[in-house]
Amino acid sequence: MANETSNKSTKVANNADAKPVLLSGGNPQIAKGYGDAPVQAYIAAMPGWKSDVGRHLDKLIERTVPGVCKAVKWNSPFYGLEEKSWFLCLHCYTKYIQVTFFRGTSLNPVPPGESKHKEVRYLNIYEGQLDEAQFVDWVKQASQLPGERL
Domain ranges for the chain, please list them: 22-143
SS (H, E, C) 24-49: HHHCECCCCEECHHHHHHHHHHCCCH
Question: In 40-150, where do the E strands start and end?
Answer: 69-73, 76-82, 85-92, 96-101, 121-126
Is the CATH code 3.90.1150 the one for domain 22-143? yes
Q: What is the pLDDT of residue 20?
A: 75
Q: What is the pLDDT of residue 42?
A: 94
Q: Are 89 and 68 in contact (CB under 8 A)?
A: no
pLDDT tens by residue, the chain, 150 residues: 444 444 433 333 344 456 777 777 778 888 899 999 999 999 999 999 999 999 999 999 999 999 999 999 999 999 999 777 899 999 999 999 999 999 999 999 999 999 999 999 999 999 999 999 999 999 999 999 988 887
Helix, strand and coil in the chain, % to nearest 5: 40, 25, 35
